[in-house]
Amino acid sequence: MKPYKRMKKLAFILLCFMLILVARLAQIQLIQTESFSRHHINLIEASVRQRTQEMVIDDGRGKFVDQNGEPLTHHSSLSLVMFPFLKELKWPSDKVASFVGMSEYTLKDKLNKASEPVVIEKEITEAEMKSINSLKIPGLFAVPLQKDDGGHFAEHLIGLTGQNRDLLVERYDERLKEGELSTQTSVGITGLQSAFDEFLIQEEESKLLYHVDRQGNPLFGLNVKYTGAPNPFYPVKVKTTLNKEKQSAVEKIVDSSGLKQGGAVLVNIENNTVEALVSRPEINEVKPYGDGGVYNRMLIPYTPGSVFKTVIATAALEQLPNVENRTFNCSTNIYGKKAQKDQGTLSFHDSFAESCNATFGQLGKDITAKDEHMIETYAKKLGLTTKAGWSGEVFHLQNFAQLPEEKKGMVWTDNTTKSPNAISQTSIGQLNVKASPLELANMMATIGRGGKAYEVRAVDKIQYKNGNTLFSFPKQELEGGGIKRETAEKLQMLLTGVVEEEKGTGRRFASLPYEVAGKSGTAQISDKKALVNKWFAGYFPRENPKYALVVVDLSVKDEEAKTNGVFYDIVNNVYELDQQSKRK
C-alpha cells in the first residue's frame, strides 16, 4: 500500500504542477496578452518585435519648428537603408556605392557587420534616391528619414518625452482600451511636449519591416513591407515663436560664460513672443529630476532685488504728486542708518539710475500710506503676480496653457505684517518678493511698447502636415495688466538713465550697437554664504524697442556673477544677426 500511496501523492503533485503550468500558459497566451505582469508588458507586441526587423522612418509624433519653419528637434534626410539579408544576395554594390560616395568595400563591410537594418550616414539627393530605388534591389531602399537631433536644443522650453504608462492611462485611457495607442507609445512629460501632447501624440509609425526566423533569415520571402498611413494631415507641426539662430546663439553665450544656474529669456516686443529661452543647469536625461535640471528656471519666481524698484517707481509716478522733483538722502540705508555706500543726496531720476535703496524704501512707505495694497496693485499692472504665458480656450480644452509649468510671482505672503521695515525691504525687491525671469521680461516689454500688457506666446500655431493651420494662437491682453502711456514714457527715461548716467548701474551697456534701457538687480539670498541673485532686465533698441531681455545668475557670489557679460554678448549677437537678416 505504501508504494500505491506514494504514487497517488506523486500523481497529485504532477497534476497540480500541470494545472499551474496550464494556468500560466493561459495567463500568457489568453488572459494577459496585452498587459502581462506588474510591468504591463504587451506580449503580442513583444512577440512580433522578436521576429521582426524594422527601420523606423518616422516615429509618427508631431514635430516642433521655429518661427520660420526650421525644424528644432529633428531633421529630414534622404538616406540609404540596407537590410541584413542583402548580404546573401547578388546585387550591384559598385553602382550603389558610387551613389553614396564611398568605396564598394566600405559599403559591403558595413552590411556584413550588420545584424539589423543599417543606415548609411551620408545624405543623398532626390535624383540619387530615385535612381537607387529604380534598381529594385530586395532589402535596399533610399528613403526620407526623420531623425531626432538628441533633444538638447531649447530643451527646457520644448521639454522631454518618454514611456510612462500612468500618464498614458491618465490622458488616453479610452484610446488605449480601443487599441489606438500601445503601452510603448511615448508621451510628453515636460515643457511644450507635455502641453501640446494631445496634438503631438503619435498615430502610427512609418517604417520598413520584414519577418525573420531564429537565425535572422527572411521568414516570408524577400519582400520588405512599408507600414504607415499616408495621411496628409498628421503628424502635426507645432510652430513655435523661437528664432533658431537667436536660440542657438543665446545657448552658446550662456554655456561659454560658465553660468551654472539661471539663464536668459529674449522676448519680441511687437508680437510679445519668446524668441529665445535658455535655462541652466542642463537636463540630465538619465535622472532628469535628480539635480533639478529639469525645471525651467525662466518660469520660476526668484527674489528680484532692485529690478523690482521699477514697480515702486511706476506707483510713485502715478500716485505721488511732484515725486520727480523730490530729493533723497542716500547716505543712509532703508533703516535710516549709515549706508555702506554713501551716495549723497540724489534726485528721483538719479536714485533710480544709481539704485539707491533709501529712496525706494521711503517711496514704498509713502505709497503704502495712501493704500496698503498699492504695491501689489502695481506689481499686477506690470504682470509680476499673474502668469505671463498664453492661456485660453483651444477646441474642447477650456484652460489650455502654453506654459503649464509656469509659476506666478508674489509680493507678500499671507502672514506677513506690513511693518515699516517690511515695506522698505519689499520696495527694494527683498523679503517675500518673487518674480520669474519671464514675468520681468514681460514687464520690460510692456514698458518698451508704451504701457500695453500682453500674454507671452511661445507657440504661434499648430499646423497640419500639409502646412495648413489647425489652430492659431491670437495675441491676448494680460488680464489686469498695463499702465498709462505717459507713465511708460517716464519709466523709459528712468531705464535709459541706468545705462546713460555716469554712475548708472548699467553703464557697461552704453557701448553696445543697440542702445539699451534697463534695470539691474542684486538680491541677497544668503548672508552667511554671501550669495545673491544677479539680474539685468531691459529692452533694446531704445528708440524703437524690438526686444526685451532678462538675464539672471542665481545663487552666486556677487563678484563671480556672469549676468552682465551674458547680457552684453546677447545684445551684440542679436544686433549682428539682425544686420545679417537685413542683408539677405
62: closest CA among 49, 48, 74? 74
Contact 240, 64 (CB under 8 A): yes
Side chain identity, residue 459: V
CA angle 302, 517, 430 (to 5 degrees): 25
Three-state secondary structure call for residue 434: strand
Three-state secondary structure call for residue 98: helix
Contact 550, 535 (CB under 8 A): yes
User: All 3 cell numbers of residue 389?
Assistant: 504665458
188: closest CA among 147, 151, 222, 225? 151
Q: Going by C-beta distance under 8 Å and a sequence separation of 6 or more, which residues neighbour residue 50? A: none
Distance CA 540, CA 578 (A): 12
Distance CA 258, CA 30 (A): 58
Q: How far is CA 402 from CA 187, 286, 456, 473, in A?
A: 16, 26, 9, 10
Element (H, E) at 263: strand 262-268
Query: β-strands 63-65, 237-240: how paired?
Result: parallel
306 is catalytic: yes
Distance CA 442, CA 449 (A): 11
Distance CA 464, CA 75 (A): 18
User: All 3 cell numbers of residue 10?
Assistant: 506523486
Contact 350, 497 (CB under 8 A): yes
One DSSP character per residue, 288-352 reads TTTSSTTS-GGGS-B--GGGGHHHHHHHHHHHSTTGGG-EEETTB-TTSSBPSS---EEEHHHHH
Helices (H), 42-160: 43-50, 93-100, 104-112, 126-134, 155-158
Three-state secondary structure call for residue 13: helix
User: All 3 cell numbers of residue 445?
Assistant: 516689454
Side chain identity, residue 240: T
Distance CA 248, CA 102 (A): 32
Element (H, E) at 329: strand 327-329
Contact 194, 402 (CB under 8 A): no
**CB-based burial of residue 125 (10 Å sphere; 0-12 exposed, 13-18 middle, 19+ buried)?**
exposed
**Residue 582 pairs with which residues in a beta bridge?**
none
Distance CA 442, CA 274 (A): 10
Query: How far out from the chain centre does Cα 13 lie?
Result: 61
User: All 3 cell numbers of residue 426?
Assistant: 519689499
User: All 3 cell numbers of residue 221?
Assistant: 520571402
Which of 306, 351, 424, 520 is labelled catalytic? 306
Distance CA 88, CA 372 (A): 85
Q: Could you list the active site residues?
A: 306
